[in-house]
Structure 1
Amino acid sequence: MKKFIRKWLTILIPLFIGIGIIYYQFTTLTSDEIDKIKVSFQKANYYYILLSLVFAFIGFWSRAYRWKFALNHLGYQTHFYNNFYTVCVSYLVNLTVPRSGEITRAALLKKYENVPFDKAFGTIVAERIVDFAIFLIFVFVGFISQFDTLYQFLLTKNVSIKSILIAAICGVILFVLFVLIWIYAEWKIILKLKKKLSGLIEGMTTIFKMENKWKYIFHSFFIWFTYLMMFYVAIFALPETAEMSFDIVVMGFIFGSLAVGFSNGGLGAYPFSIALIFGLYGISNDVGTAFGWLAWTSQTIFTIILGIISYVFLPILNRK
């Protein structure tokens, strides 16, 4: 019963958060702004939206291709189409429960390629660690280049830099303590966890030992390049955002990426964060909201379609 309740809470809580953000966003818009948003959808150049989805597809392909290097290092020669289709299905599942797609991806690879779940999942965790490190580079560059704008925004919200630094330092200290305890502690519970997670750890450490680690790293950066281009190309769909400078694009990309984790696939949170960050640079709320919903809707529909197609083709292509 507890497992059933926990399962539904992981689905419903992010969903309610997304719905709540949508409600808040549209109740704060005037009727004139809502009309302008409708007009933006009508006059948008959907050629650029389709082009952004091409970059999304390339990113999916690159993620599936990168995965083979880690799997090959563990001694598993998987079919590329299985790697690709499981990646697509994982993106689809992530729309329901955030981050649940990684579990689905490892489970599907076990089913169709007989790769042990813990080892497959370990390679996926390693991917997420690398992806997070690259994303931090974006955050660092973006925040340094836009420090004055963000600082003025924080001042208007009565948030001091000192409080942010204290929180960041505390977080770093706790992380370092955890790593030290994990490496050096001889506690029974730690040793027991290490034994159970041995396959997971093996998968996570493949990047440091694999022969093709530089190809792996190249694809890791290339994946984020396609994500950035997916966002950048989309700005040309609306005339009001077409002349936007690249530094604004990077900040919008950063905050949009962060928003995806707040609700199911960024429902509500993604358009709201885009409108918020664009507003810091003088872009009207209706334009920012319209762009956010245009980008989020197109990406979500694309993910759903590609995920369903992949889920259908997996058993067909793996018939014995």
Structure 2
Amino acid sequence: MLNPKVKQGIQVAISLAVAIWIFWFLYKDIELATLTEQVKSSNWFWILSSLVISLLGFWIRGWRWALLIQSDEGEPVTANRAYHAVMVGYLVNLLVPRAGEVARCGVLARTNGIAVGQLIGTVILERSIDLLFLTGTILLAFLLENKLFLALSGDLIDLNSLTEGLLNNFPIFAGGLIVFFIFLYFIFKRFRNHGFINKLQNFGRQLLTGVKSISTLKNPLGFWSSSVLIWMIYFLTMYTVSLGIQSTANLAPGEVLLVMVMGSIGMVAPVQGGIGTFHALVAYILIQFGVSETDGKIFAAIIHGTQVIMIMIVGLVSWIIMLKIPAWNKPDTL
């Protein structure tokens, strides 16, 4: 058995190697002079505006997290302190995928005296809600750009032949579908105590319980409105960058929304900061909109690169601020 730290180190090294390889593969044919020229010709008013908007989104995310933390122990969490903890988490995520979620909980536990386990529970709920909003955003993008979705599907699958085949064999297809669902039902029933299935069921129950618990918050309206605002800010961040780059300045809002969706999916990948996966998916969808391959890759590099630089700077500042706050000590009781 490998030492847990060694195992984690290997996983981090592999994810970083994959990220670097994807990034190198995407940009190996782009000359540095081309990238430099595109950076110089960009309208930096819009790009810097995107960073300001993004920073506002980070603060709102911190405020939303503070709304979720309802604890009788420790010191109440302010929006500013939760924001700094969130930024520390983003900074750590650049080094170790997913470790930022634990890091921000650890930082806040130190300064506010709230149990790490309780804070992690709020982060899991927060991420579950984000997953629901991502699903809703994908659905919205499909409704706005359904022709493109169908065109992309058509490139991968012959939809006409597939539809004709389903219609000609509908009884077999319907019967097979019914048998499949019955099979799933018996599998879940037979192995409901099995590790993986048990985890799926527990996740579903926890998500449902978590969503219901939001109604018991002191400010449930603030939580839901901030969640909507966070995703609107994601869109505005992408849209303002698109305005600042000549090759993407004419993209319609619906097209930018689809670019944002692809970028969000790329950021979910278990690699440091979405390196490589973000660039690949964003460049791919831009090419479908008629943007040249080189310009699409450079757009992805600019928006991702500026965000990473901002997170590094702001995250370090937040880390220093949190370190300067004395560790919380439980008051003496008589």
TM-score tier (shorter): 0.7 to 0.9
**Residue of 39, 58, 63 corresponding to 2:37:** 39
Q: Following the alignment from structure 2 to structure 1, what is the Cα–Cα distance between the partners of residues 19 and 226?
A: 32
Task: Report the equivalent of 1:254.
Answer: 261
Q: Does 1:224 align with 2:223?
A: no
Q: How far apart are residue 13 of structure 1 and its match?
A: 2.2
Task: Report the equivalent of 1:275.
Answer: 283
Structure 2 contact 111–325 (Cα < 8 Å) conserved = no
Deviations 1:221-275 (A, max 9, x none): 1111111111111111112211111111001000011111222111122222111
Deviations 1:189-219 (A, max 9, x none): 89x99xxx9xx99877642321311111111
Q: Following the alignment from structure 1 to structure 2, what is the Cα–Cα distance between the partners of residues 95 and 13?
A: 14
Q: Following the alignment from structure 1 to structure 2, what is the Cα–Cα distance between the partners of residues 302 and 318?
A: 26
Q: Following the alignment from structure 1 to structure 2, what is the Cα–Cα distance between the partners of residues 221 and 188?
A: 36
Task: Report the equivalent of 2:97.
Answer: 98
Structure 1 contact 125–204 (Cα < 8 Å) conserved = no
Q: How far apart are residue 36 of structure 1 and its match?
A: 3.5
**Residue of 300, 306, 314 corresponding to 1:306:** 314
**Change beyond 3 A, Cα 1:281–1:71:** same
Q: Percent identity?
A: 21
Deviations 1:137-170 (A, max 9, x none): 11011123323223322333348697xxx9xx9x
Structure 1 contact 126–205 (Cα < 8 Å) conserved = no
**Change beyond 3 A, Cα 1:111–1:317:** closer
Letter in 2 for 1:26: Y
Task: Report the equivalent of 2:12.
Answer: 11
Structure 2 contact 30–294 (Cα < 8 Å) conserved = no
Matches within 5 A, 1:1-320: 1-27=2-28, 29=29, 35-72=33-70, 77-158=76-157, 206-262=213-269, 263-318=271-326
In structure 1, the gaps of 5 or more residues are: none
Task: Report the equivalent of 2:332.
Answer: none
Structure 1 contact 120–203 (Cα < 8 Å) conserved = no
Q: Following the alignment from structure 1 to structure 2, what is the Cα–Cα distance between the partners of residues 86 and 93?
A: 11
In structure 2, the gaps of 5 or more residues are: 163-172, 329-334
Say what the alpha-carbon RMSD is for the aligned residues. 3.3
Letter in 2 for 1:49: I
Secondary structure at the aligned position of 2:14 is classed as: helix
**Change beyond 3 A, Cα 1:244–1:30:** same
**Change beyond 3 A, Cα 1:204–1:155:** closer
Q: Following the alignment from structure 1 to structure 2, what is the Cα–Cα distance between the partners of residues 74 and 229?
A: 37
**Change beyond 3 A, Cα 1:260–1:52:** same
Q: Following the alignment from structure 1 to structure 2, what is the Cα–Cα distance between the partners of residues 37 and 189?
A: 49
Letter in 1 for 2:123: I
Letter in 1 for 2:41: K
Secondary structure at the aligned position of 1:72 is classed as: coil
Deviations 1:166-194 (A, max 9, x none): 9xx9xxx7xx97xx87xxx6x5989x99x
Q: How far apart are residue 5 of structure 1 and its match?
A: 2.8
**Change beyond 3 A, Cα 1:139–1:272:** same
**Change beyond 3 A, Cα 1:141–1:81:** closer
TM-score computed with the length of structure 2 as normaliser:
0.79
Structure 1 contact 139–254 (Cα < 8 Å) conserved = yes
Q: Following the alignment from structure 2 to structure 1, what is the Cα–Cα distance between the partners of residues 217 and 56?
A: 24
Deviations 1:114-144 (A, max 9, x none): 1111111111111111111111111011123
Structure 2 contact 51–237 (Cα < 8 Å) conserved = yes
Secondary structure at the aligned position of 1:77 is classed as: coil
Q: How far apart are residue 44 of structure 1 and its match?
A: 1.1
Q: Which runs of 4+ in 1 moved over 4 A?
A: 73-76, 158-162, 187-190, 200-205
Number of residue equivalences: 300
